[in-house]
A and B are shown apart, each in its own frame.
Chain A
Amino acid sequence: MSSDPVAPEEWLSRYIIQSNHFRKTDKTVKPDAFIPHPHEDLSVTRHLDLDQDAIWSIGENVAHRRNKQLYGRAVNQASSYLEQKLKVLPAPDLPGNPNHANVTGWPPDKEAQKIVALEIAAKSEYMPRIG
């Protein structure tokens, strides 16, 4: 469980569990995956010292809990969020995910949320779930 502050250079994953949240053509993430509304926060998982298998395992748990399929994950450094004047706060209290964090401080307007989501998606690397 990590309650340590999130450093700008830390790597974070956002799990993709909707088939229309990534582009099949060039395997990139769509901004739709980063829209928090109706919630105030966006859930991400800190990599910290987890290996790839452990990061995927958390994603499988997330998808299973929601009765969804895990398609992949969007990987960003925390700086991608911080540059948009957002905050990344540790939230290790989520069952099964001690590396959970919340991205907070989103603008209230939908159009402003969208431009932030576009900027984050542009800096994101999509990693599809293989197998």
Chain B
Amino acid sequence: MIAEAAIGFYLAGAPVLLSRAVSGTADYVAMKSEENRDSFMNSLVLGQSFQKSVNELQTVVAECSGADWDGYNAYPVTADTYDLARQFLKALPLYSAPSSVGAEPDGHLTLEWYKSSRWLLSLSISPEGMLYYAALLGTSKQYGSEPFLGNVPPQIMNLISRVATA
């Protein structure tokens, strides 16, 4: 029963705890929470989509980590940006992995949730930890920016759900 509750918690998108602990107990809770989440991520079934996204991310970073990677003065994708993107993937509910990942010439990594050319969400992750998002939702659209503080911002989670259920 405890295990089921824990799985439900992780499937619902547990926040990634970004070491804001201020006591020994809080440090311990944060560490155990991270360990438990990693355990689920590493499980064969639950962790497949996460690992697939991380593998894609690593491929993109390998292609785009040098200066001028597009031959047209693109900014390199840095290790910091990769770490942030990986943290963001870990903060997602396990059933809502992106369709694909990519990079933009300003050095941002992109995650995309894609149903069709008019039902999609594109998210850019900057080296400074900003999330820039834009979505086409049939005949409507939404765009904006949010800082990444360890949780998937509700606006972005809502857009992921809308694209997934379109």
Query: Chain B: residues with CB nearer than 8 A to chain A?
Result: 60, 63, 70-75, 99-106, 108, 110, 112, 114, 117-118, 120, 122, 124, 126, 132-136, 141, 143-145
Contact = CB atoms under 8 A, between A and B. Distances in A.
Given A30-B100, A37-B104, A119-B136, A17 B70 contact: yes
18 contacts: A18-B102, A18-B103, A30-B100, A30-B112, A32-B102, A32-B103, A32-B110, A37-B105, A38-B106, A39-B73, A39-B105, A65-B71, A66-B72, A111-B143, A111-B144, A112-B143, A114-B132, A114-B134
Given A32-B102, A37-B105, A114-B132, A122 B118 contact: yes
Contacts of B114: 23
Contact of A114 (B101, B103, B122): B122
B16 to A, nearest CB: 23
Which of A19, A38, A109 is most buried by chain B, counting CB atoms within 10 A of its CB?
A38
A115 B132 CA distance: 10
> By DSSP majority rule, is chain B's interface helix, strand, loop, or mixed?
strand
Contacts, number: 90
A52 interface: no
Given A17-B71, A32-B110, 13 more contacts: A20-B100, A23-B99, A23-B114, A30-B100, A31-B134, A35-B106, A37-B105, A38-B74, A38-B106, A39-B72, A65-B71, A110-B124, A110-B132
A62 to B, nearest CB: 9
A109 B101 CA distance: 21
A121 interface: yes
Nearest to B135: A118
